[in-house]
Amino acid sequence: MHGVLSLPRKSSAAIGLDRIVMMGAVVSLVILVVLPIGSLLLGSVKSEGGLTLEFFREALSGRLYLQALLNSLILGSWTGLFSVVIGLPLAWAVSRTNVPGKPLIRMTASLAYLSPPFLTAIAFVNLFGPNAGLINKLTRDVLGLPWLTFDIFSMSGLVLVTVMHTFPFVFLLASGALQSVDASYEEAAQILGAGKWRTAFTITAPLVAPAILSGTLLAFVNSIALFGSQAIIGLPGRIVTLPTRIYALFDYPPEYGLASALSLVFVLITVVALFVQRSYLARRSFVTFGGKGSRPQLIDVGPGRWLLLGFAVVVFVVAIALPYASLIAVSLSKSWGLDFWKGLTLQNYKFVLFEYDVTRRAITNSLILATLAATLAVMLGAIIGWIDLRTTIPGRRLLDYAALIPLGLPGIVMAVALIQFWLAMPLALYGTLAILLLAYTGRYVPLGVRAANASLRQIDPSLEESARILGASWGLTMREVTLPLIRPGLFAGWLLVFVPAIQELSASILLFSSSSITLAVAVYNLYETGYTEPVAALAIINVVIIAAAIWLAGQLGGRDTQKVGYASA
C-alpha cells in the first residue's frame, strides 16, 4: 500500500471529551430537575417527628385548598373550551377557506401567544376595573348604561384574559393539522359521492380531532399555571386558585410542607392532562406530515368569508389592539381616566427607566437571566437530544424523560421545589440571581431538548459517521458537522426560551429578593402598590425588549420566527 496518510495517534488513557460533556449534562439535569423534585416529594411527607401524610390530608380536605383546586379546574376547563371556540374557526379559516386577511389572523395568534399574559391582565383591569376601568366609566357615567358594565374581577373576566393567551395553542395545532391532511383522503371521499360537508365531518374532522384535543389540553395546562393573571384578576375578585393559594402559603410563617403537598396535587393535574395529550396524540396521529400528497383545495365560503374576517378582527381587537392601545395610552398619561389625553407625558418612562432604581435593576437582571437561561437550556438540550438520538447508552430514554419533567411543573411549583432543595443545602442560594437562573434553566430545558431533537432528527447520522470514518474526533465532528447543521434549530430554540424567560413571573414571584428582582416581578409589585401609569410604561418596555429579541434573532438566525413560541411555555 502506498499513499495512505496516517491518522494522528490518540492516547488511549485519556477520557474522551464526549464522556465529559455527557456526564456534565447528566449532572446538570440531576441538579436542575431531579433533586428539587425529590426534595419536593420529601418535603410533602416530612415533619419534625418523621414521615406524615398530614399535609396531603390538609391539602385534600381543607376548604381553602379544595376551593382553590376547584377554581383552577373551572378556569382551565372554560379556558380550554373557549380556546377551541376561538382557535378552531380561525385555524379552519386560514388553512381551508378563501378568507381575506390571513396574515392578520396569523399575526393575531402569534402576538397573542407572545404577549406576557399578566400585561393583558393589567390592561384589562385598566379598561374593565369595576370602578376605575375606562370602558366601564364610559358606559356607566357618560352613556348612562350601568347594565353594560363588565366586572373584570370575576371568573368570566379571568377566563377572558387567559383565553387571549391560550387560544393560539389550538389555533396552531389545528391549522397545522388541517394543512397537513393529505388531500387525497378527502378526494377519495368525494369521488365516492360524498359532498363537501359530508367529507368535512366524516373524513377531515376525525383526522384532525387529535390535534384539536391536544391543543385544548395544552391550553388547559398553560392556563391553570399562569400566576400573574390569576393574582391580578383573581385575588381582587376573591377567586383563589392553586398558584395564588400556594403563593399565600409563603406568607409568614411559611408552611413548606403544605405548600409542597399542594404543589404535588397541582403537578398531578398537569401531568395527567399532558399524559392524555401525549398518549392520545401518539396513538391517533393520522396527520401525515411532509409527503408528496397534494395540498387541500381552499373552500370558497362566499359571503361567509366576511363573517370569518369580522370574527378575526374582533379577536384581534380584544386580544391585541385594545390591551396594547390602552397600555400605551396609560403609559403616556399623567393620570388614567376618561380625560387622560389632556395630560400626555413621557414622565412615566423617565421614572421607570432612570429614576426608580428597582425597575432599572429589574431590567438588567431579566436581560442577564433570560440570555443565560436560554443559552444554558439550549446547550443542555442539544447534548441530551444528541445522547438520546445518537448513542446507545443505557438509560438514555430516562434522561430524555427527566428533561421533559419540567413541562408538567407549573412555575410556582418549580419555585417551591427549588426552595425546598436549596434551603436544605449549605449553599445560600435563596434570594440570589443564581437560584432564578436555576429555576429558568430547569423550567425551559424541555424547550431546548425539543428544539435540538427536532433539528437532529432531520440530520442523517451518516453525515456525522462520514466525518468519524475520515478520522475526525467527536469534538471535531460536533464542531464541524453537527452544530453547524442544527444551528438554525438551536437559534429558534434559544428564542423559544428567551421570550418566556424575559417575562417569567410564576416562579420568580417566590424566588426574588430586592437585589435579584426581575422585570415581571417589578411590574407586578408596582401594580400591587397602585402605580397604574408607571406600570404601563414598564409593561411597554417589557414588550419592546421581547420584540427586539425576536427581531435580533430573526436577523442572526435568518429563520422564520413565526415558528417560535407555541410548542409549550
- 3-state SS, one letter per residue, for 302-357: CCHHHHHHHHHHHHHHHHHHHHHHHHHHHHHECCCCCCHHHHECCHHHHHHHHHCH
Q: Which of 297, 515 has the CB closer to other proteins? A: 297
Shortest reach from residue 214's CB to other proteins, in Å:
15
Is 290 near other proteins (CB under 8 A)? no
Rounded CA separation 279/347 (Å): 53
Is 279 near other proteins (CB under 8 A)? no
Member of 3, 8, 193, 303 binding other proteins (CB under 8 A): 193
Member of 32, 114, 207, 416 binding other proteins (CB under 8 A): 207
Rounded CA separation 185/291 (Å): 13
Shortest reach from residue 290's CB to other proteins, in Å:
12
Q: Which of 88, 207 has the CB closer to other proteins? A: 207
Among residues 568, 560, 569, the alpha carbon closest in space to that of 106 is found at 560
Is 5 near other proteins (CB under 8 A)? no
Number of residues that bind other proteins (CB under 8 A): 23
Is 280 near other proteins (CB under 8 A)? no
- 3-state SS, one letter per residue, for 236-291: CCCCCCHHHHHHHCCCCCCCHHHHHHHHHHHHHHHHHHHHHHHHHHHHCCCCCCCC
From residue 294 to residue 333, the character string flagging contacts with other proteins as x (rule: CB under 8 A) and all else as - is ---x------------------------------------
Member of 8, 49, 291, 303 binding other proteins (CB under 8 A): 291
Is 202 near other proteins (CB under 8 A)? yes
Among residues 132, 131, 136, the alpha carbon closest in space to that of 149 is found at 136
Q: What is the helix (H) or strand (E) element at residue 362, kind and residue range?
A: helix 357-390
Of 165-173, 184-192, 375-383, 418-426, the segment contacting other proteins by CB under 8 A is 184-192
- Tell whether the torsion through CA atoms of 226, 228, 229 and 231 is positive or negative: positive
Shortest reach from residue 125's CB to other proteins, in Å:
45
Of 145-153, 172-180, 189-197, 539-547, the segment contacting other proteins by CB under 8 A is 189-197
Cis omega (within 30 of 0) on the bond before 253? Answer: yes
Member of 46, 137, 284, 390 binding other proteins (CB under 8 A): 284
User: What SS3 state is found at 492?
Assistant: helix
Non-local (6+) Cβ contacts of 10 within 8 A are: 473
**DSSP class of 47:** E
Q: What is the helix (H) or strand (E) element at residue 51, kind and residue range?
A: strand 50-51
User: What SS3 state is found at 10?
Assistant: coil
Member of 47, 156, 184, 515 binding other proteins (CB under 8 A): 184
Rounded CA separation 375/491 (Å): 9
Member of 13, 51, 191, 427 binding other proteins (CB under 8 A): 191
Member of 190, 345, 347, 432 binding other proteins (CB under 8 A): 190
Q: Which of 182, 504 has the CB closer to other proteins? A: 182
The site for other proteins (CB under 8 A) is made up of 182, 184-185, 187-195, 198, 202-203, 206-207, 284, 286, 291-293, 297
